[in-house]
Amino acid sequence: MGEEMKNYMNTAEQVILKTYNRFPVVFERGEDVYLIDMEGKKYLDFGAGIAVSALGYSNQDYKNALKDQIDKVIHTSNLYYNKPAVEAAQKIVASSGMDKVFFTNSGTEAIEGALKVARKYAYQKDSSKEYEFIAMNHSFHGRSQGALSVTGNSHYQDGFVPLNLRAVFADFNDLEDVRSKLSDRTCGIICEVVQGEGGIYPAKKEFLEGLREICDEKDILLIFDEVQCGMGRCGSLYAHDIYGVKPDVMALAKGLGCGIPVGAFVVGKKASQALVPGDHGTTYGGNPLATAAVSKIFDIFEDKNIVNHVKSVGIYLNNKLNELKNRYTSIVDHRGIGLMQGLEFDRPVGPIVSKALEQGLLLISAGPNIIRFVPPLIITEEHVNEMIGILDTVLDGES
């Protein structure tokens, strides 16, 4: 590693708050599904900026849409209408079959808004109760206090969310456990359709169907967190479509902007009247630049048939990861769907991820023992083969 890159990393440690343990590389640009560091070394990207860069780094239509919007106007605030926000919202509503959209700046903010919708819906019916949510163990919904309150991992909560402000937690995919946690204070149930940070666990169809039935019976709202698993990553535009179960509120981000910071919560008819003017807001959310990105991404997904491509290459990735699992006794499980898959090892995967980086492959983890595969949605079978070849080399060295 050259001195210039070392100097940038050293300076970062001095001036940027250390809440991350970063890998020793400074990226300068992207090309197709590769990132390139300051010294010109290319890295095959199977992390996609934590499942964000769905279109990779070279889609010219996407770049041109952003450049065109920059030349027009970047920000006007939500005191006024803007054309890209209207067009983006139309595309989300039409594709989801839901009713209305609120644009945010991140997935965490989308979760915050979703929680407010559910609380307000319950409050309008009976304002006398202190309402609570049922959330899932091992879930992850974001780092703000509201999102942390429904994140089922005390590692993230301790020191930030008092016990009395946390949700009631049930086991994911265990419907009876959820039913046992219901009370007259329950105002909503929130879960990921595929748990990401918790270890790449897809929901069972009967579990989501059961949650829908419970929420209908109790007249409470069902919230699906599709921040990571949505926007085509699982082989359908929205992950819940695979199961045929519709939420009352859906949170989106990551692939919604493909690198531009943007999120959204989407509400069905039942929840669409819960928030009224003055109940919620954001200065930057839904600005013309962010929503120009969202609008163009929906066009590209349709033009390039991204969802069907994910189905095809996802099957190929699944098969190759199964073959890898069968070759190494250190791999104890393989699970996932589409281009959101994971390998669970019998030991921490940090050294494997670091050695893969040295070999020009970017991988990320999901907990200490799991490698998470969330590449750009445009990867090909050749990219999968390249990744498997590098990972094979690393694992051989570990044996």
Residue spans per domain, the chain:
3-58+306-398, 73-303
Q: How many Å apart are CA 136 and CA 177, to the nearest integer?
A: 10
Q: How confident is the model at residue 1 (pLDDT cuts 50, 70, 90)?
A: confident
Q: How many Å apart are CA 120 and CA 141, to the nearest integer?
A: 20
Collapse the DSSP code of 252 into the 3-class scheme (helix H, G, I; strand E, B; otherwise coil) and give the result.
Answer: strand
Q: What percent of the chain has pLDDT over 90?
A: 95
Q: Which residues pair with 32 in a beta bridge?
A: none
Q: How many Å apart are CA 144 and CA 157, to the nearest integer?
A: 10
pLDDT tens sequence across 101-121: 999 999 999 999 999 999 999
- Segments in the chain forming alpha helices (H): 3-15, 48-51, 60-72, 83-96, 107-125, 145-149, 154-157, 175-181, 205-218, 240-243, 288-303, 306-327, 350-358, 381-398
Question: For residue 12, what are the contacts with CB-CB under 8 A and spacing of at least 6?
Answer: 22
Please give the residue that has the higher pLDDT: either 1 or 145. Answer: 145
Q: How many Å apart are CA 253 and CA 186, to the nearest integer?
A: 26
Q: Are the CB atoms for 291 and 65 separated by under 8 Å?
A: no
pLDDT tens sequence across 66-101: 999 999 999 999 999 999 999 999 999 999 999 999
Which range among 111-115, 261-265, 394-398 shows the weakest confidence by mean pLDDT?
A: 394-398
Q: What is the reported pLDDT for 318?
A: 98
**Residue 308 DSSP symbol:** H
User: Does the pLDDT value for residue 397 go beyond 80?
Assistant: no
Q: How confident is the model at residue 297 (pLDDT cuts 50, 70, 90)?
A: very high
Q: How many Å apart are CA 142 and CA 151, to the nearest integer?
A: 7
pLDDT tens sequence across 26-67: 999 999 999 999 999 999 999 999 999 999 999 999 999 999
CA nearest to 53, candidates 209, 212, 228: 228
For domain 73-303, give the CATH number: 3.40.640.10
For domain 3-58+306-398, give the CATH number: 3.90.1150.10
- The mean per-residue pLDDT over the stretch 240-259 comes to 98
Collapse the DSSP code of 37 into the 3-class scheme (helix H, G, I; strand E, B; otherwise coil) and give the result.
Answer: strand
* pLDDT mean across residues, the chain: 96
User: Does the pLDDT value for residue 369 go beyond 70?
Assistant: yes
User: Angle at CA 394, nearest 5°, toward 369 and 350?
Assistant: 30
pLDDT tens sequence across 314-329: 999 999 999 999 999 9
Q: Which residues pair with 285 in a beta bridge?
A: none
Q: How confident is the model at residue 399 (pLDDT cuts 50, 70, 90)?
A: low
Please give the residue that has the higher pLDDT: either 371 or 129. Answer: 371
Q: What is the reported pLDDT for 164?
A: 87
User: Does the pLDDT value for residue 370 go beyond 90?
Assistant: yes
- The mean per-residue pLDDT over the stretch 256-273 comes to 97
pLDDT tens sequence across 215-248: 999 999 999 999 999 999 999 999 999 999 999 9
- The mean per-residue pLDDT over the stretch 193-197 comes to 96
Token readout for 378 is 């445009």
CA nearest to 53, candidates 78, 31, 37, 76: 31
Collapse the DSSP code of 249 into the 3-class scheme (helix H, G, I; strand E, B; otherwise coil) and give the result.
Answer: strand
Collapse the DSSP code of 117 into the 3-class scheme (helix H, G, I; strand E, B; otherwise coil) and give the result.
Answer: helix
pLDDT tens sequence across 155-169: 899 998 988 889 999
User: Does the pLDDT value for residue 187 go beyond 90?
Assistant: yes
Q: What is the reported pLDDT for 284?
A: 96
Token readout for 341 is 């898959």
Q: Which residues pair with 221 in a beta bridge?
A: 188
Question: For residue 309, what are the contacts with CB-CB under 8 A and spacing of at least 6?
Answer: 377, 378
What Å distances lie between residue 353 and 56, 203, 370, CA to CA? Answer: 20, 27, 10
